[in-house]
Amino acid sequence: MYEILTLNKINKKIFEVLNEDFEVSENFENPDAILVRSFKMHDMQFGENLLAIARAGAGTNNIPITALTKKGVVVFNTPGANSNAVKELVVCGMIMAARNLVPACKWTETIKGCGTDVPALVEKGKGQFVGTELAGKTLGVIGLGAIGAKVAKVANALDMHVIGYDPYICESMKEDVLSYASITDNIEDIYKQSDFISLHTPLLDNTKGMICEKTISQMKDGVVIINAARGELVNNEDICKALNDRKVRTYVLDIPTAETLNCDNIIAIPHLGASTEESEENCAFMAASQIKEYLENGNIKNSVNFPQLSFDREPNTTRVTVAFNNIDDTKEEIIKIIEKSKPSIYKVNTNKNIGYIIAESKDGFAENIIDDLSENENVLLIRII
């Protein structure tokens, strides 16, 4: 029986995946795995049984990944599970900004109770909210992952000219995106050419505060910036100044802060990007599926700290999995030990820091395999499943 701790309210879709071999609770002290959404985990103490954490969402800034990696704990996320929901909110934000819908709706509230004068007041007042159309405008998309690519595709369907920037885009995704957008290798092209800019990049050392006084100065006057990714991508002081100066026409953000709420010309959304029934179901199902596959079979898919490695398991087999620091000759030394047991199959993958092996056998493994593997100081975790 595996114990699964939930740190937030997780959609009941998880129970379509987690069968009678899994017990789910908010109260386990030493669980085998954790399902989390936005709970900040950096101050948590983790028990020795913990094998995996799955974030029902894409961002993992609330999880102490470095510390968990040293313990051999796999951290998963669910990229793409909420992409349609976020895409729709971004497009909604663009339209709201272009058509001045927020101030227009607020103004309409002021003529409540005006009785038969309402039609005349509407005709008289509507002129102050004349907007612009998206068709023919240029949208710059920074980050062409699951969400950014979908935003670009919809914008193209709305007859916008779309420029994308993503230095990490894979070839298959690049080929797809090029069918509805252009891609630049220079992010300054986004800043200089775009009427609307939408951010879809993770929060990294080199992306924190990327929208700042310097980059804003390169943008068109009256640019609209949409941020449904991470608040820290934008320097709040600089964006507020640009809004007050009307350099930036509107800032649409899904992560309001005390500082930005004091700025004029913002559309502040209370973190609703992934808040749809469908998105919550998709994220929960995907997170639970990844936890189940790892605990039962050792398969790793969509990990943010471990290399990806998974393959179908044959019936009536035993698996040995080994996680290790990817340094020196550790991989070769572990493979030699694994091969002594003559497994039916084994596969290995590595990233910059971590290596991972899954070995499978119908006849079992040598009795001393754990002792032999444990002698290597770079081995982080050994499991027999």
* Tens of pLDDT, residue by residue, the chain (385 residues): 999 999 988 999 999 999 999 999 999 999 999 999 989 999 999 999 999 999 998 889 899 999 999 999 999 999 999 999 999 999 999 999 999 999 999 999 999 999 999 999 999 999 999 999 999 999 999 999 999 999 999 999 999 999 999 999 999 999 999 999 999 999 999 999 999 999 999 888 999 999 999 999 999 999 999 999 999 999 999 999 999 999 999 999 999 999 999 999 999 999 999 899 999 999 999 999 999 999 999 999 999 999 999 999 999 999 999 999 999 899 999 999 999 999 999 999 999 999 999 999 999 999 999 999 999 999 999 999 9
- Report the C-alpha gap between 55 and 39 in whole angstroms: 10
Range list for CATH 3.40.50.720 in the chain: 1-82+275-305, 83-268
Q: Which of 165, 170, 176, 172 is nearest to 139 (CA)?
A: 165
Name the strand (E) or helix (H) holding 361.
strand 354-361
> Can you read off the two tokens belonging to residue 60?
């993992």
- Report the C-alpha gap between 146 and 342 in whole angstroms: 41
* pLDDT attached to residue 328: 87
Neighbour tally for 9: CB within 10 Å: 10
| Whether 252 contacts 225, CB under 8 Å | yes
At the fourth CATH level, which superfamily is domain 307-385? ACT-like. Chain A, domain 2 (3.30.70.1150)
> Can you read off the two tokens belonging to residue 316?
């009536």
Range list for CATH 3.30.70.1150 in the chain: 307-385
- Report the C-alpha gap between 228 and 242 in whole angstroms: 19
* 313 is annotated as an active-site residue: no
- Report the C-alpha gap between 90 and 95 in whole angstroms: 9
**114-149 exposure pattern, b = at least 16 Cβ within 10 A, e = fewer:** eeeeeeeeeeeeeeeeeeeebeebbbbbbbbbbbbb
Active-site residue, selected from the candidate residues 259, 278, 314, 339:
259
Active-site residue, selected from the candidate residues 271, 281, 296, 383:
271
Q: Considering the domain 83-268 in this protein, what is its CATH number?
A: 3.40.50.720
* pLDDT attached to residue 58: 84
* pLDDT attached to residue 38: 87
* pLDDT attached to residue 227: 98
* pLDDT attached to residue 59: 83
Query: What CATH topology corresponds to 1-82+275-305?
Result: Rossmann fold (3.40.50)
Q: Which of 29, 21, 38 is nearest to 5 (CA)?
A: 29
0.75 surpassed by pTM: yes
* 271 is annotated as an active-site residue: yes
- Amino acid 323 reads A
- Report the C-alpha gap between 145 and 285 in whole angstroms: 20
- Report the C-alpha gap between 129 and 195 in whole angstroms: 19
* pLDDT attached to residue 271: 92
Active-site residue, selected from the candidate residues 200, 230, 249, 319:
230
